[in-house]
Amino acid sequence: MTLNRRDFMLRSGASLAAGLTLPRVLVRTAAALGQSDPRERILVLLQLSGGNDGLNTVVPYRDDAYYRLRPTLAIKPDTALKLDDHVGLHPQLDGLRRLYDDGWLSVVQGVGYPNPNRSHFESMDIWHSADPTLEHRETGWLGRVLEREKAMQALHLADEPLPLALRAEGVDVPSVHTIDSFRLNADDGGAARRAIFTLLDRPDENCESHAGHAGTPPGGSGSEADFVRRTAAAACANARRLEALPPDASGSYPQFGLARRLHEIARLIAADFGPRIYYTSLGGFDTHARQNTVHPNLMAEIGQSVHAFYADLKARGVADRVLLVTFSEFGRRAAENASLGTDHGIAAPLFAAGPGVRGGVIGPSPNLSALVDGDVPHAIDFRAVYAAILERWLKVSARAVLGAGFRPVEIL
Amino acid sequence: MLLDAYRPGTDGPWDRRTASHLLRRAGFAPAPADVDDALKEGLARTVDILVSNAQDAPRHGELDVLGERIAAGGGGIEKLAGWWMQRLLHTHRPLHARMTLFWHNHFATGNQKVGSPAMMLRQLRTLEAHALGRFDELLLAVSRDPAMIVWLDGDSNRKGKPNENYARELFELFSLGPGNYSEADIKEAARAFSGWHQRAGEFCFNPVLHDDGSKTIFGKTGDFDGTDVVRMSVAHPACATFMARKLLREFVCEQLDAALVDELADCLRAEGFHVAPVLRRLLSSRAFFDARHFRARIKSPVEFCVGLARSLEMRAPGQALHRAASQMGQRLFEPPTVKGWEGHRRWINSSTMLVRINTATVASAGRGEFGLDADAWVARAALENGAAATRFAIDAMLDGAVDDELHAALREAEAQPPAAALRTAVAVIAASPDYQLA
Amino acid sequence: MRLSLNRMRHAARSAALLLAVAALALAPWPATLAQSDAASAKPTAAPAVQTTPPAARSVAPAAQLIPDNALLVVGLRDGYRAVDDFRGGDLFKRILASDAYKSLEKQSEYMKAKGGLMMFAGAAGLDPWAAVQQVAGRDLLLALLPPPKEGNHDKPDVLIVLTPQDAAATRSLLNSILVMSGAIVDGEPVEARSRLVDGVRGYSISDDLYVAEFDEHMVFANRAKLLEGVIRERRSGEKKLATNEHFTRAARDLPREALLWAFADVRQFKSMTGDAFNKKLDNGLAGLLFGGAVEAFRSADYASAWLRTEADGVVLDGRAFGEGGGAEWLKTFAVNSEESRDWSKLDLPGLMSQVALARDWVGIWEARESIIDADGLRGLTEFANTLTTLMGGMDFHSQFLTELKPTLRFLAARQKLAEGAAPTPELPGFALVMHLKNAQQVAPRLENAALMTMSIINVDMGQKMQPQFQLTPRDYHGARMLVGKYPEKTDPGPRGIRYNFEPAISVFGDRFVICTSEKMLENLIDAVEKLPAAAGKAGELASDTLHVDLGELSRLLDANREVFIANQMLEQDFSRERATARVGMLLEAARMLGQLSMRVGPVSDGLNFSLRIGLAR
């Protein structure tokens, strides 16, 4: 079993001196003490691209100003899924509502940063690099985590290129569309595939032993050739392990793209594939016009997919190891515009889901009678959310990653 | 001296292995016929041809003229990248092509922000025009390139409100390397570039927004503008060393020998930063042909895909090559940041390695768009059986040298009929660790 | 902003594409075929259909050998003579003389195929054409049968019956095949490869090809047991295709001069493929436009088709019919034609194609849930909502669809574009014609919708820093038009895309027209004025028609030749020379075609279909 994680580590090539991987038995013992071992904890980050309309996601159904400012778009009070006396969820977020009722959802309101930036490109960079001044845009907060924790791995599962959040010096996160990218395809009827496995696969060996393997690499300097050899072995190991995954029957997921990706993540988690940070995204939130034809579908996609995800994880017995957090680069303006949509705003709520969260609604509910320049101002700095994730979930120094201290938000 | 000429016969052989090494490093993996030609011409003449300014092949030319139309049509940057890859497949000037790729990485400009295939093409044409020419001219041309101006916020750089982005990257990434300039130099250089804007994809100098006051850069004072800054950067002692390092990492190996760096830097200065003669010197040198450097550098995705297709004269639409290279981590026209692609070991991780393996099997199967014509090779090289086909593949792709493990893996192929054996052998060799090294 | 615009464009594009490729989607189905009722008036634009019924037996002499559970039967009649006629005919000469053929000859695939054929024919001592003729024979039948229940078979069985014209020559061809495959050595059958069954000798040519010759037929099968069964049962008339009442009924419809014909047991197909056959459509718009036809086909029991050649073209007719008859679906699919004018006589300059669909729009909309699946319904709802909003709140279903008369027309014509840059690629102009019951009342709403659409497009263009449309109303020959034009001084842009697109709408008479080019709309208004009255009878069921002027289409393709060549170079890695040859070959083949017309229409017990392709003069 430890072989899984170690093999997967190889692909970054960052260092062979493997991090401290505890023997499995110790890991289990810690788990038996009733708390999921930090080394087993997994973070799933769900990026909502385009600027999710927070006011229609976590709805201030009691606020008259809300209905005045959004005559067409406002969610009617009787359809909102009430969480408390101030806010309720969008009617399509029933899946999240059920998680909330089980205590598996924290709703953090008013998350943003000072000197708001309304450019998609720049605001997303701010969230990714955790630097509102935009002076240090070369690395992302998760990238920096991976840089410090050499043993920790991540996987990016989406159609877009690798986000800044996962980038750092010497850090290499694989970015795939589906886990099928880890499969070895050889459609020629077998001979090539067999030969390639014969050549590359090292099923029983420990990685270090490759350095002195028999046979002289033709003219190559030992280190480059060996590096490639080791990585190829890891690639084959992944392919082999993926094929060994039992055909997946558990979990009935809805027919959404996000659901498919979360399903794959659930499979990988259950199979101990290696990564502890999974990053995926959902786009289409930039609803400048006719928001009601688009936003409800996105809410449905999130609500149903995340609920199915946790139902699946629970069935596989790994739910308590997984924390899922959503975020978006900004919210949207309080008033609807002339095209029945909304324009770029600033602060917005985000969700943290999983058995490990405290549950409940945190942060001040939006007060639309006290807008600042047409927007709900931010109340919680997003880096406080990151601090909570880093300190309390991943057990990594938040100060080192964020560059400054932030009091963690009480979600965990 | 490390850069003294390598004398075939005295310092070492001029055989298939050595010639392949040169052609691989100075271009892409050679087809058997290319190696034959190189052996016939001899080392000096081969290098001469590589650095020369001769016109490219007609097949390249007829593809070349489609570029502007593609950039203007609604096809998107993907189509343009596919077109570039396809030209690489058919070029008879591989060193020029490699240097263009080198400059593309050096001045890494990304369409993610520029958002215009036409402007990216224009920058590509600029890089091509100066690829083997004088570095100072290239640096000036790039400073005026509209895509670069958009990429590094040149349009925001104006008198009174200078934007330092371009000046910083110019010093840090394009000419001197970190530590060879001060923040003050950057600030002043930014002022010098103010007003260097672009409009609708054309360079446009805006004198009103240009700060023509006195500036102090590298200890010198004057009312410098961008042209002066470029001149001063190239004249800076650190520039030759910085560029020598980069060239050595590209053509020789990642670990640098200080003495070699210095020698190459001197050569650059002596040749006035004219790339062609410097490369001629480097590619004919003893240092270049040092046996330790053979099969010691990890191929970039573009080198891998284009090399595989060229070495076995495969039919390969540019789009297919571009898709494969993208999945391996190198999307032409879209480098991840202004630092470009790190390259070397960074190209290889467990998922990109799998893409290389999968690309190898698809290409060798010969069906679909990207493919090896095994039957044609069997006829052409008179391969009578599986063993002959396997031998042929080993010679063509690995210069005939194969280790025990690979040999064992190929045993099953030898028993197949020649066309099938060739396909299997090509797939296995292309997936092998040794083939990932140039 | 961008989202709704994209969706509208997408919807419009989907609609255009669907209409334009309707023929292509339907044509390959061997069983979606129809025959117009002998009683109905002949459609003027569609081909006439022969209805002289020959005796069933002469349809297919071998029909008494084929088991009656055949899924699909395809027959070639008098192939021997047809090949002869073809070789001596005009078309053949034209093909041989064409540049397209000359470059085809140089293609490696062609040379390989030709070489193979010559080898095959030579082994039998025949020249290649003669070999082809022998294979075509007097009658050639191919039947697909359901896979046998025993064993692990998932592919259908295949039976081929050849009734030779020249028995001796065909026998010698068969002999050489048997020798080549090793079933006969030194003139003697090889024991392991041959068996005597009921006095008939059968051979195995390969693992999945068996053959036997008896009576006046040569029978090939993919399984030994199948062939054995056919041999043993050859005298029995029971449970054979010839006695299948639906086959005989279909055979009655078959004209004597049909060259190629097909018969399909749709019911069996359905029971074998199960759910897949009845899967709902996942595209809302497709469901709305073609759902009725699809359902009519699905509820059919049998289908038949036949192909005839005429002096200057080929005609394919077919029908789907059945006891249940798809009567339900006929209600929503079939409507009475309410045409007042004969649009087949439309004289529009540059007209390339005309598609007319007649539907009970409201009926189909209300029945949509049974045709379209959840995804498609979602898309359709969005589409409807968007249109409702654009039309200023006029409800798509209850106020717009109810306003539409049954016929919807879609036209494509080559357009003359403004002076200056010629765009590449050059696109034709498109027009969508709807007929409204209360045109004058609805017109303002529709104009409003057009205005809103254009202003949304303008905002989008503005964000991209591209010039925006100016909307100008004007009068043209009594009709009111609204035209979107770019301002005079606009830079044509890198590929002159704007010249391809100049939206124009008009309401005149009972017609509402949306067009992509002002000039085309003007021409259309004029041409419609000149249309004669409709020829058909009132109360007649309307059919869908498609008419394409392939000559005009090929001229358009030719104008875009450079684009195709560049695409071939890039997508296939061809040299310019090879790409040019290939494109030239395709364009020349296209030039040889003249007109294509197709008609699909309901009849009391099914669906009729007719397709005619004529060659250019």
Mean pLDDT of C593-609: 83
Give the number of beta-carbon pairs within 8 Å between A and B: 168
Cβ atoms of C500 and C563 closer than 8 Å: no
- B349 with B424, same domain: the answer is yes
Contact A293 C385 (CB under 8 A): yes
Q: Span B96-103, mean pLDDT?
A: 97
Which of A182, A219, A231 is closest, CB to CB, to B348?
A231
**Highest mean pLDDT (candidates A118-122, C217-221, C246-250):** C217-221
| Confidence class for position C30, pLDDT limits 50, 70, 90 | very low
- C334-340 average pLDDT score: 75
pLDDT value for A1: 31
Q: At C337, is the pLDDT very low, low, confident or very high (cuts 50, 70, 90)?
A: confident
How far CA C244 is from CA of C34, C63, C64, C230, in Å, comes to: 20, 10, 10, 16
Q: Are β-strands A277-283 and A42-49 bridged in parallel, bridged antiparallel, or unpaired? A: parallel
Instruction: Express as a percent the part of chain B with pLDDT over 90.
Output: 74
Q: Taking residues C133-144, report their average pLDDT.
A: 87
- For residue C491, give the chain B residue with the closest CA: B200
Express each pLDDT in B139-194 by its tens digit: 999 999 999 999 998 998 999 888 899 999 999 999 999 999 999 999 999 999 99
The pLDDT value given to residue A188: 59
- In this prediction, residue B18 has a pLDDT band, given cuts at 50, 70 and 90, of very high
- Quote the minimal CA–CA distance from C362 to chain A in Å: 23
User: In the listed set B182, B215, B235, which residue is the last one of a domain according to the structure?
Assistant: B235
> What is the C-alpha end-to-end distance of chain B, expressed in Å?
25
**Interchain CB contact of B62 with C (< 8 Å):** yes
Q: Read off the pLDDT of each residue in C55-83 and give the average, rounded to a whole number.
A: 79
B59/chain A closest Cα distance in angstroms: 32
Is the CB of residue B353 less than 8 Å away from at least one CB of chain A?
yes
C495, C570, C572 member nearest B72 (Cβ): C495
Report yes or no on B429 lying in a domain: yes
Per-residue confidence (pLDDT) for residue C43, from 0 to 100: 34
The pLDDT score that the predictor gives to residue C498 is 56
8 Å CB contact between C331 and C602: no
Same domain, B320 and B422: yes
Q: Say what the pLDDT of residue B43 is.
A: 95
Residue C378: list chain A partners with CB under 8 A.
297
B63 contacts on C by Cβ (under 8 Å): 569-570
Minimal-distance CA residue of chain A relative to B17: A219
pLDDT for res C207 = 85
Name residues whose C-beta falls within 8 Å of residue C293's C-beta, 6 or more positions apart in sequence.
C26, C333, C544, C600, C607
| Length of chain B in terms of residues written | 438
Residue type for A375, please?
Answer: D
Question: C431, C525 in Cβ contact below 8 A?
Answer: no
Q: For chain A, which residues score pLDDT lower than 70?
A: 1-39, 170, 186-189, 203-222, 246-247, 249-251
Give pLDDT tens digits for C486-512: 776 555 554 455 556 788 899 888 899
Tell me the average pLDDT of chain C: 78
Task: Evaluate whether residue B138 is within a structural domain.
Answer: no
What pLDDT band is residue B135 in, cutting at 50, 70 and 90?
very high
Q: Flag if B82 and C497 touch (Cβ within 8 Å).
A: no
**B330 within domain boundaries:** yes
Report the C-alpha gap between A395 and A43 in whole angstroms: 12
CB contact under 8 A, C3 and A297: no
The Cα–Cα gap between B197 and B147 comes to 10
Decide if pLDDT at B315 tops 50.
Answer: yes
| B332, part of any domain | yes
What confidence tens digit (pLDDT) does each residue in C181-206 have?
A: 888 888 888 888 898 888 888 999 88
Q: Which tokens go with A307?
A: 């609920």
Higher pLDDT, B34 or B349: B34
pTM for this model (two decimals): 0.75
Cβ under 8 Å to C: A residues 249-308 = 255, 284, 286-290, 293-294, 297
| Chains with at least 3 CB pairs less than 8 angstroms from chain C | A, B
> Is the distance from CB of C597 to CB of C612 less than 8 angstroms?
yes
Residues B221 and B340 in one domain: no
Least confident of B32-41, B47-56, B258-267, C271-280: C271-280
Number of domains in chain B: 2
In terms of CA atoms, which chain B residue is nearest residue A234? B350
Dist CA C320 CA C308 (whole Å) = 18
Closest Cβ opposite residue C576 in set B62, B72, B315: B62
Contact (CB<8Å) A161/B331:
yes
Residue ranges and CATH numbers for the domains of chain A are: 1-36+183-244 (no CATH), 41-181+250-402 (3.40.720)
Q: C56-78+138-242 maps to which CATH number?
A: 3.40.1000
Q: Which uninterrupted H or E stretch holds C144?
A: strand C139-145
Report CA torsion sign: B57, B59, B60, B64.
positive
Chain B nearest-CA residue for C565? B66
CA C541, distance to chain mean position in Å, is 21
Chains sharing 3 or more CB pairs under 8 A with chain A: B, C
Cross-chain Cβ contact A12/B349 below 8 Å: yes
Mind giving me the DSSP string for B250-288?
Answer: HHT-SS--HHHHHHHHHHHHHTTTBHHHHHHHHHTBTTT
Task: Report how far residue B178's alpha carbon sits from residue B164's, in angstroms, rounded to the nearest whole number.
Answer: 15
Give the single-character DSSP code of B371: B
Residue B39 vs residue C366, higher pLDDT: B39
| Whether the predicted pLDDT of C54 surpasses 80 | no
User: Measured between beta carbons, which residues in chain B are less than 8 angstroms from residue A192?
Assistant: 361, 364-365, 423-424, 427-428
Asked if residue B204 belongs to a domain, the reply is: yes
Do B330 and B414 belong to one domain? yes
The DSSP output letter for C341 is B
Contact across the interface for A186 and B427, Cβ inside 8 Å = yes
Give the C window 551-590 contacts with B, CB below 8 Å. Answer: 566, 569-573, 575-576
Q: What pLDDT does residue C326 have?
A: 52
* Separation of CA B362 from chain center: 25
Q: Looking at residue A48, what is its pLDDT?
A: 96
Q: Which residue has the higher pLDDT, A401 or C604?
A: A401
In this model, does residue B214 exceed pLDDT 80?
Answer: yes
Name which of B165, B351, B410, B429 to mutate to probe chain A: the one with the most chain A Cβ atoms within 10 A of its Cβ. B351
Provide, rounded to the nearest whole percent, the portion of chain B with pLDDT above 70: 100
Task: Assess if residue B222 is contained within a domain.
Answer: yes
CB proximity list for A297: less than 8 A, separation 6 or greater: A92, C378
pLDDT at C488: 64
**With an 8 Å Cβ cutoff, is C88 touching chain B?**
no
Q: CB of A409 within 8 A of CB of A362?
A: yes
Of B345, B358, B428, the CB nearest to A185: B358
Domain edges within chain C: 2-19+315-615, 56-78+138-242
- The long-range contacts involving B61-66, CB below 8 angstroms and separated by at least 24 positions, are B62/C569, B62/C575, B62/C576, B63/B87, B63/B90, B63/C569, B63/C570, B66/C566, B66/C569, B66/C570
H-assigned helices in C308-437 = 327-333, 361-366, 368-371, 374-390
Mean pLDDT throughout C304-332? 76
Burial of B385 from C-beta contacts in 10 A (0-12 / 13-18 / 19+): middle
Contact criterion met (CB < 8 Å) for C494 and B118: yes
End-of-domain residue from the set B195, B212, B235: B235
> Is B305 found in the same domain as B230?
no
Q: CA-to-CA distance for B327 and A174, rounded, in angstroms? A: 10
Partners of B300 on chain A (C-beta within 8 Å) are none
A293–C2 CB contact, under 8 Å: no
β-partners of residue C413 are C351, C429
Tens of pLDDT along A13-54? Answer: 332 222 223 333 333 333 333 345 666 899 999 999 999 999
According to the model, what pLDDT value does residue A35 have? Answer: 46
Confidence of residue C525 (pLDDT cuts 50, 70, 90): very high
| DSSP, res B408 | H
Q: What is the ipTM of this complex?
A: 0.89
The listed range with the strongest mean pLDDT (B28-42, B404-418, C499-513, C573-587) is: B28-42
* Domain end point (choices B191, B207, B235): B235
| pLDDT in the model for residue C93 | 83
Are residues B424 and B305 both part of a single domain? yes
Model confidence at B231, pLDDT cuts 50, 70, 90, reads very high
Residue C112 has pLDDT above 90, yes or no: no
Measured between CB atoms, does B76 come within 8 Å of chain C? Answer: no
pLDDT at A237: 78
* More confident call, C22 vs A89: A89
Tell me, what's the pLDDT at C489? 59
Task: Say which of B253, B409, B434 has its CB closest to residue A225.
Answer: B434
Nearest to A339 among C1, C378, C382 (CB): C1
* Residue B125 covered by a domain: no
Residues of A in contact with B432 (CB under 8 A): 199-200
A 238-267 residues with CB < 8 A to B: 238-239
The residues, any chain, with a CB within 8 Å of residue C276's CB and separated by 6 or more, are none
pLDDT averaged over chain B?
92
Residue B82, chain C, CB below 8 Å: the answer is: yes
Structural domain boundaries enclosing B189: 149-235
